[in-house]
Amino acid sequence: MSRKLPLGEGETARTACARGLLRTGVVEKTGEVLPAAVLAQRVGWAADLVCGMAAELLAEHWNAADVQGLASGEDPGGRKLPSNAWMALRRLGWTAAPARGVRANDRIVRMAQEQAGRALRSVHWRAELTSAVLRTWPGDPGKRTPEEWDRVRETVHGGRHLPSSVIRSRTRQITAFTQKHGRLPADVFELEAPPRAARMLLLSACDSQQATIERGEDDPHRALLRLQLPIRPDPRSYRDWTWVACPVTLPPTIPPGAVLHLPTLRLAGGKVRADLAYTHAVPKTSRTGHTVALGVDWGLNTLLSAGAARLHDDGHITALGHGAQFRAAGILAKQHRLRRLSEHLHAKAEHIERLIDADEQHELSGRREVLQDEVRFVSDRRSNLNDALARAAARWTVDQAIAAKATVIYLEDLRSIEAKGMGRSTNTRLSQTVRGQIADRIRHLAAEAGIAVVTVPPRNTSRHCPRCLIPLWHRKAPDRPTAPGWKWALCRDRAGCGWQGDRDHGAWQRIAARGLTHQTRTVTDRATGQMVIRTVVDTLETQAVITPTTQTSNPSRADRSKTAPTRRKPTRPAPRRRRAPSPTGPSGPASKRPEGHAPPGRKTLPRAAHRHQGVTTISTPSPRLRPGEPPSRRHRPRGAALGAGFHLHAHATPPRWDDPTPDTMSDMGSPS
C-alpha cells in the first residue's frame, strides 16, 4: 500500500483522526479467535509494559537540564535532533528496558520512549512560563500593577499575545505552593510532579515488524490491523509473543482514498479503542481574498450567534440574512448542575480522607471507595457532555458557512476573557464553557471543506453599532426600553441610524465586517499554526460597517415597528356563550361534548360531581353572631366550597353521569 498521497492543483494534505473499535482478533499461527475480553486483556498486558518503562523515563529526566536539552533541538555534539521523540531520546542516550526476566522486542521500547519524549517536550513551555512568573513575582500576587503586567509579558516568549488568564492561573498555583511550604518554588519541576504515563500503545512509533494496517481490497470501509501481542503478562521469551489480526470497520468519515496510518490503541471500559489516523486531500485555504464571511459571536445561554456578510467591489459590506443562533441553555444548565454535584462529592471525599487518616482498616474505607467511583462517574459525564456540545456547535457553525458559501469563518478571540462582575453563578458558568474545544473542532471541520478560520480581536464588538460605530444603549428587552439590561441593543443615533436588535446579532455583524476589512493583516501563528488578526487599525475599522440593504422582496409591506401606544379596543358586552344546548350525555366517552364542564373522554370526574349532595341541599340559616365573634365562625355546609357550584351555597342538579348504569349482567349464570 502506497503511503504517498497524490495531490491535485489547489489541494493540500490534511491529517485527521477517527475513532474505531477492535471487537475481535485471530491468532495467525493457530487460527484461534480471540473475543473482545481476551483481546483487551492481551492489549492491556502490552500497554502495562510500555506504561512502566515510560514512567521510569519521566521520573528519571523530570528536571530542568534534561528538558532544556531535549527542547533545544540539538544533541551534545551539535547535531539536529530528529523530529520523532523516540529517535531524539536515543540520540541523547536516554534508554529504557523492561523489567528483569521480561522479554520484549525493540518496538515496545520505542513506544515507551515516544510517549515519554512527547510528555517531556510539552512541559518545556510550562517551565519557561513558570520561570518568567517567578522572576517577575509581584508584590501583591492577587493584583498586579500595569507595570508588573508589562514586565511579566516582556519576560515570557510571545507574552504580548498570551491570555492573561494563563498567567493568573500559574500565579495562583505558585501562591498555593508558597502558602503550603512558606517559600517560592525553584521551577515547575518542584511545583508539579512527573505526569502519569498513559496506558496505551503508540503504534506510530513502530514499523512492520510490530504492526501493519491495510485497507480491504473488496470493501474499502474495512481494514485489517496486524500486531504482535503477548500471551502472558510477563513474557519470558519471544515465543510468548504472537501475531494477531484484528479486523476494523472504518468510520464513514474516512474517505475511500485516504491513506491509513498505524493507530493508537487505548483501553476504555474493558474495550480496545483505536484512534485511526489518516491523511486525505482537501482544498487549500487562503488568508486573503475573501468576499463572503461568516461572523461568529460567543454567548452564555445563546452559545453561538452567527451570520454571513458580503464584501462588494466598491468596498461596502452588507449582511446576508438576519443570522441564526445556537442555543444551548439546557445543556449548559446541566453542566452547571454536574459541576456543583462534583464539588459536593469532592468535599465529602476530602472530609472522609481526613477522618480515615491513612487507616486502611477504618470503617469508612468502603464509603471512600464509593465516593471515588461517583466522582469518576460525574467527571466522565461532564467530559462526554462537553464533547457532545463541542461537536454539535462546531458542526452547526461549519454548516452555516457552507450554506452561505462563505470561504472564511471569523471567530471572536476570547482567550483572554475573564468572567467577573456578573455574579458568582454567572461567572462560574462563563468560565466552564468549552469555547476552546469548540474553536478547535470548528477548525478541524472547516479544513475539510476548505474554509479558513481566523480569530479577530473582540474589543467593542458588542458595544458599538454595526452600522455607524456609535456606542449602543443596552436594555433588558425591546418592549422595555427604559429597563437596564444587556440583551437588547439600541443605537444612540435614533434620528440618523436607528438600528436596534439583539446584542449578539449586532456582535456577529461587527466581527464579520472587521474580519473582511482587516483580512490583509491576517497572520499565521508559528506556535499553533492558526490564522489570527492581532490588532485593529483605525483607518480600516472606519470601513467595517454594515450597509443596510433596500427591501425589495415586498415593498408594499408597512413598517410594523412600535412607535406609539396600542389603540384601545372596546371590550365585548358579554362573554362568548354556546348558542345551542349541549347534547345529552351518553353513559361512556363519546365524540360529542356532554353538558357541564367535563371534556369528552375524561377518566376522572370533576370535583363537584363527587360531593355527596342531594338535589334539595341548601345552606342552613346562619346563626346570629355574638359580639366580637369573627365572621369565619358562620356555618357552611359540607360541599359548599368555592368551586362546587357557581355560587357558594347554590348547587346545580347532579350530572347525568352521576346516575349509575343498571347492571344487567350480574344475574346471568355461567355459560357452562
Report the distance separating Cα 409 and Cα 420, nearest Å.
28
Report the distance separating Cα 18 and Cα 25, nearest Å.
20
Instruction: Please give the pLDDT value at position 605.
Output: 46
User: What is the chain's alpha carbon radius of gyration, rounded to the nearest angstrom?
Assistant: 36
| Contact (Cβ atoms closer than 8 angstroms) between residue 485 and residue 472 | no
Report the distance separating Cα 398 and Cα 591, nearest Å.
51
Report the distance separating Cα 626 and Cα 283, nearest Å.
95
Which helix or strand (DSSP H or E) is residue 445 part of? helix 435-448
Instruction: Please give the pLDDT value at position 219.
Output: 85
**For a pLDDT cut of 70, what percent of the chain falls above it?**
79
Q: Residue 423 pLDDT more than 60?
A: no
| Contact (Cβ atoms closer than 8 angstroms) between residue 43 and residue 35 | no
Report the distance separating Cα 30 and Cα 6, nearest Å.
39
Arithmetic mean of pLDDT over the chain: 82
Instruction: Summarize the confidence of residues 513-520 as an average pLDDT.
Output: 94
- pLDDT band (50, 70, 90) for residue 642: very low
For the four alpha carbons of 558, 564, 565 and 568, in that order, the dihedral sign comes to: negative
For the ranges 145-149, 415-419, 450-454, the one whose mean pLDDT is highest: 450-454
Instruction: Please give the pLDDT value at position 493.
Output: 84
pLDDT tens digits for range 202-221: 999 999 999 999 998 888 88
In this predicted model, which residue has the larger pLDDT, 422 or 68?
A: 68
Which residues on neighbouring strands pair with residue 241, listed in sequence order? 230
Candidates 486, 469, 492, 613; CA nearest to 547 is 469
Considering only 124-133, 162-171, 244-253, which range has the smallest mean pLDDT?
Answer: 162-171
Candidates 246, 239, 210, 242; CA nearest to 33 is 246
Considering only 66-70, 246-250, 260-264, 419-423, which range has the smallest mean pLDDT?
Answer: 419-423
Instruction: Please give the pLDDT value at position 435.
Output: 82
Q: Name the DSSP class of 546.
A: B
- pLDDT band (50, 70, 90) for residue 644: very low
| Contact (Cβ atoms closer than 8 angstroms) between residue 110 and residue 205 | yes
Instruction: Please give the pLDDT value at position 548.
Output: 86
**For a pLDDT cut of 90, what percent of the chain falls above it?**
51
Among all chains, which residue has been given the C-alpha cell 471572536? 412
Report the distance separating Cα 36 and Cα 20, nearest Å.
14
Task: Provide the 10 A C-beta neighbour count for residue 616.
Answer: 6
Q: Which amino acid is at 291?
A: T
- pLDDT band (50, 70, 90) for residue 669: very low
| Contact (Cβ atoms closer than 8 angstroms) between residue 504 and residue 511 | no
Q: What is residue 282's three-state secondary structure?
A: strand
Instruction: Please give the pLDDT value at position 368.
Output: 86
Considering only 66-80, 145-159, 233-247, 616-630, which range has the smallest mean pLDDT?
Answer: 616-630
| Contact (Cβ atoms closer than 8 angstroms) between residue 491 and residue 497 | yes
Q: Name the DSSP class of 130.
A: H
Instruction: Please give the pLDDT value at position 135.
Output: 92
Q: Residue 555 pLDDT more than 60?
A: no
- pLDDT band (50, 70, 90) for residue 481: confident
Instruction: Please give the pLDDT value at position 93.
Output: 93
The side-by-side arrangement of strands in the sheet containing 488-491 is 480-484, 472-477, 488-491, 500-502
In this predicted model, which residue has the larger pLDDT, 601 or 378?
A: 378
Q: What are phi and psi of 173, to 5 degrees?
A: -65, -40
Instruction: Please give the pLDDT value at position 581.
Output: 53
- pLDDT band (50, 70, 90) for residue 627: low
- pLDDT band (50, 70, 90) for residue 671: very low
End-to-end CA gap in the chain? 81
Q: Residue 611 pLDDT more than 50?
A: no
Q: What is residue 481's three-state secondary structure?
A: strand
Instruction: Please give the pLDDT value at position 3.
Output: 62
pLDDT tens digits for range 264-315: 999 988 899 999 999 999 999 999 999 999 999 988 668 899 999 999 999 9
| Contact (Cβ atoms closer than 8 angstroms) between residue 103 and residue 50 | no
CA distances (Å), 409 to each of 59, 330, 399, 487, 521, in order? 43, 26, 11, 24, 15
Instruction: Please give the pLDDT value at position 571.
Output: 67
- pLDDT band (50, 70, 90) for residue 10: confident
pLDDT tens digits for range 326-382: 988 888 888 889 988 999 999 998 898 888 887 777 888 888 889 989 999 999 999
Instruction: Please give the pLDDT value at position 584.
Output: 53
Considering the four listed CATH numbers 1.10.357, 3.30.420, 3.40.50, 1.10.287, the one that applies to the domain covering 292-328+395-541 is 3.30.420
pLDDT tens digits for range 25-79: 999 999 999 999 999 999 999 999 999 999 999 999 999 999 999 999 898 888 9
Q: What is the DSSP string of 134-161?
A: HHT--SSTTS--HHHHHHHHHHSTTGGG
Instruction: Please give the pLDDT value at position 413.
Output: 82
Instruction: Summarize the confidence of residues 126-150 as an average pLDDT.
Output: 91
Q: Name the DSSP class of 287.
A: S
Report the distance separating Cα 47 and Cα 266, nearest Å.
8
Q: Residue 507 pLDDT more than 50?
A: yes
At 149, list the grid cell.
503586567
Instruction: Summarize the confidence of residues 312-330 as an average pLDDT.
Output: 90
Instruction: Please give the pLDDT value at position 225.
Output: 95
Domain ranges of the chain: 21-137+184-244, 292-328+395-541
Candidates 195, 187, 174; CA nearest to 120 is 195
